[in-house]
Amino acid sequence: MRTLLAALAAVLCLGAAPAPLICGPVNQAALMSATPAPTLSTYRLFTDEDAVHPNARVTPYALNTPLFSDYAEKSRFLYLPPGTHATYRPTGALDLPVGATLVKTFAYPFDLRRPGEKVRLIETRLLIHRRSGWVALTYVWNDDRTEARLKRAGARLQVSFIDVHGQSRQVDYHVPNQNQCKECHALSGRIAPIGVKARNLNGDFAYPDGRENQLVHWTRTGLLIGAPTPDKAPRTAVWDDPREPLAARARAYLDGNCGHCHNPRGEASNTGLFLNLEEARPVKFGVGKRPVAAGKGSGELETDLVPGRPDASIIAYRMASTEPGVMMPELGRSVVHDEGLVLVRDYIAKMQAR
């Protein structure tokens, strides 16, 4: 019966490429329903069952500096309902209409040096803009890559891959529970998107018909209104592009990896440590600031950030830890991001002592 249905679906979608199993537009009703769909395919965000080819009105995008997620490869998409568009904002996330959905798939290629090959899909997270506000859901993939099922209470998955140095790595991958999505995505206690800021989208993306700045592409295709030309819009540095200034890269990294909680409206607001890119007061981004509720996370150190001395800076200490209660961020990683740590240590080392 199921085979028959699939065959029927294939016939109905004839002509669309590559022969999809899922057809019809994005299932807006399912996205808007208060009861989440049990499987990802219900939403028809993709035209293939392993979520590679986006459906109409689902646009891939990338961030200049993303969150580190245990070396997982992440692909991101924005769905906008027909007749709607995003509105530019110079700071914070773009203004997205009700119905907009952000889609992020976490995956590991067998070998990080060969992206796109022998990929294991882990989970696909959705952030859906309902009338009542944003809702976070996550779907965990089966081993056959044929189906992702709703997982509300979180999960642990054992993942192995070969890293960029050719070393075999094991990761105790954590799928967050639904509340934990909000821990990072909270702004004044309500769920909000993090990545889709104009400044973090202000960079090129390799579209099927060529590279183009994302703000330009989105404007040209009617997805975005109100954006200035890229040179007039703010821009987050690319954390791993050595051509960019060290401080800009490090602050971009801290923004993307810490600033979602460590900002005046985030989950870690009570710490008084603000690592979002907009924060300009040195003491607020850690210079000379003593910890408050760090407990053992202080690691016998007395200051969050000591210019010139990464070994004396709690920020670097906590980035280098994998011990719960010490490691930062608290969620989203189980291994150290070696390259990120090198960047932040280098930044602190080269900061001028006041």
Partner 1 sequence: MKALLTATVATAALLAGQAGAKVLTVTPGGDAQEKIQTALLDAKPGDTVMIAAGRYELTDGLSLDVAGVTVKGAGPAATILSFDGQKSSGEGFLITSNRVTVRDLGVENCKGDGIKSKGVDQITFKNLRVEWTAGPKSTNGAYGVYPVASTNVLIDQVVVKGASDAGIYVGQSKNIVVKNSEAQFNVAGIEIENSMNADVHDNLATHNAGGILVFDLPNLPQMGGHSTRVFHNRVIQNDTQNFAKKGAIVGDVPTGTGVMVMANRDIHVFDNEIDQNQTAAVMIVSYTQAYDDLTYNPLPRDIAVHDNRIGKNGWAPQFPGGDVIAKAMGGTIPPVVWDGVTNFTPKGMSGPVAVRVHFTDGPVANLHFSAPGNVFSAKPQVTPTIDDGAIAEPKAVVLPKAQAAL
Binding residues for partner 1, rule: CB under 8 A, are 152-156, 172, 174, 177-180, 182-183, 186, 189, 264, 267, 269-272, 282-284, 288-303, 314, 323-325, 330-331, 334
Q: What is the DSSP string of 114-167?
A: STTSSEEEEEEEEEEEETTEEEEEEEEEPTTSS-EEE-SS-EEEEEEEE-TTS-
Nearer of residues 226 and 299 to partner 1, judged by Cβ: 299
What is the spatial distance between Cα 196 and Cα 93, in angstroms, rounded to a whole number? Answer: 5
Nearer of residues 129 and 182 to partner 1, judged by Cβ: 182
Distances (CA, A) of 266 to 182, 183, 326, 332: 10, 8, 19, 16
Least separation in angstroms between residue 292's CB and partner 1 is 6
Nearer of residues 60 and 299 to partner 1, judged by Cβ: 299
Q: How many helices (H) and strands (E) does the chain have?
A: 8, 14
Least separation in angstroms between residue 296's CB and partner 1 is 5
| In contact, 126 and 101? CB cutoff 8 Å | yes
Least separation in angstroms between residue 153's CB and partner 1 is 4
Phi, psi of 51 (to 5 degrees): 60, 45
Helix (H) or strand (E) holding 107: strand 101-109
Distances (CA, A) of 156 to 159, 192, 197, 257: 10, 25, 30, 21
Least separation in angstroms between residue 173's CB and partner 1 is 11
Nearest to 147 by CA among 48, 19, 79, 4: 48
Helix 338-350 crosses helix 246-257 at what angle (to 10 degrees)? Answer: 130
Least separation in angstroms between residue 322's CB and partner 1 is 9
Nearer of residues 221 and 322 to partner 1, judged by Cβ: 322
Nearer of residues 217 and 284 to partner 1, judged by Cβ: 284
Contacts of 295 (CB under 8 A, 6+ apart): 325
Nearer of residues 96 and 187 to partner 1, judged by Cβ: 187
Least separation in angstroms between residue 317's CB and partner 1 is 10
Nearer of residues 87 and 170 to partner 1, judged by Cβ: 170
Least separation in angstroms between residue 272's CB and partner 1 is 4
Rg (C-alpha) for the chain, rounded Å, is 21
